[in-house]
Amino acid sequence: MNSLTINTPEPHGGKLVNGVRNNVIVKKEYPALEIEPEVDMGIVIRNVYREIMSIAYGFFSPLDRFMTSNEVERVLKERRLLDGWIFPFPIIFDVNPEKIRGLSIREGDSVLLKLKGNPFAMLEVEEIWKFNPREIADRTFGTPDKNPDAVKRAFDHKHPGWSIYAKMSGVALGGKVYIINEPKFKAVYERFWYPPEKSRTEFAKRGWRTVIAHQTRNVPHMGHEHLMKQAAFMGDTEPCNGILVNAIVGSKRLGDFVDEAILEGHEAVDKFGYINPARHLVSMTLWDMRYGGPLESILHGIVRQNMGCTHHMFGRDHAATGDYYDPYSTQALWENGLPSFGLNASPFDMDKGLKIRPVNMQEFWYCPVCGEIAYSRTCAHGDRAERFSGSFIRGLIAEGIKPPPIIFRPEVYDIIVKWWREFRYPFVNKRYLEIKEKELEVDIEAK
């Protein structure tokens, strides 16, 4: 297919959600809830403010709310919203039931949500409903017996996404949510904030008809760079006009790279000319990742389609952690569907599915014979492959060893060192998590 025939896809559901309202008068009689982080074994795994931001700015369009029980049930049965549009995860605002009773919150109420003690958003309560967190967690991600086409072993508390649902309170408020006090992003984050309306405007300004999305939660090594360069030339008879790097910014696991280094590391790739800056844009989405493998890939497709992308690359073990999912289940989903999850065809081929086009990528490695990045179709030395191991790379850095240029561009490594000095450690540790949760990515004005 010639990319000249491809137009920027319309938002998922047909229209971008705009849930930022100015000049809303906050009445004293509104019950007020402070947004509190969700913690597991002393580590923050979720802060619902990020979901509110992504809903209100249209990243999750057409979703404009926290789900009611009927909405959650349809998502878990069919991976669709009540109006039929594909959506992979239940988006639930769980609240301590004692707080609901203490504030006398009832269905039909408008509830003020506070962030850092200041007014932030409003939730129009349509339903107060109860659920079994463990059951929701299992049904969200699947089980080996019910979903053998994707799930290899049962999920447990070692899986961050499963823990998010399993640790919920069991009582939720469902209804429309919107921001009434727009936060200001802090340094570093503010220049990477491209919500869908802004990213679409930027693509048009740059003349990008075709844009391929690169999902990331890592500082870019040479394998990532090669992946972006190759993916931009796949799927059509001419290369994509643009490459959108979209980093997921949110709760982190111990040992991850810090968000600041991830964003500025990707920025360095085009800043120093390794990818033409005219074809490259670094952005971010606020979301505490569920590490949902093929299901997470659907959310990524929704987010990037809403941002205006025409294509999305999907590699081995996309958006997963551990060995819970088959490492190629995401690619299988985008080729033929995953029937056990109610997805009988590719999300691209389903009614009320996605319009973004998948580009399934083969695994890359370093070939010591050719002296370059390779994959199975580029050379015949697969038996000599030296794969990019994240744990090996982290081990080098933790020991103070500068990785060779075949692993990291020197400017990217310099970014890691910059934030190493700032946080006194190159990776996420408990101190970083404490700072992150206290400060968040935004400031919010008192009202």
What is the model's pLDDT at position 2? 41
Residue 368 CB neighbour total at 10 angstroms: 13
Residue 257 Cα distances to 186, 264, 290, 393, 415, angstroms: 19, 12, 17, 11, 11
Give the pLDDT score at 412: 96
Decide: 23 and 259 in contact? Cβ < 8 Å: no
pLDDT confidence of residue 307: 98
Domain ranges of the chain: 32-182, 189-439
The Cα 24–Cα 10 span in angstroms is 30
pTM of the model: 0.94
Q: Kind and range of the H or E element at 129?
A: strand 118-130
Which pair of tokens denotes residue 433?
Answer: 């998590």
Model pLDDT, residue 5: 52
Distance CA 323, CA 393 (A): 20
Closest residue by Cα to residue 46 from 223, 219, 168, 195: 168
Cα separation, 185 vs 53, whole angstroms: 12
CATH superfamily ID and name for 32-182: Sulfate adenylyltransferase (3.10.400.10)
Q: Is domain 189-439 annotated with CATH 3.40.50.620?
A: yes
Q: Record the tokens describing residue 13, joined without a space.
A: 């559901």
Give the mean pLDDT per block of 10 residues along the chain (447 residues): 63 98 85 93 92 98 98 98 98 97 96 96 98 98 97 96 97 98 96 98 95 95 86 68 96 94 97 94 98 98 98 92 96 96 96 94 77 73 73 83 87 96 93 91 91
Q: What is the pLDDT of residue 154?
A: 97
pLDDT at 239: 76
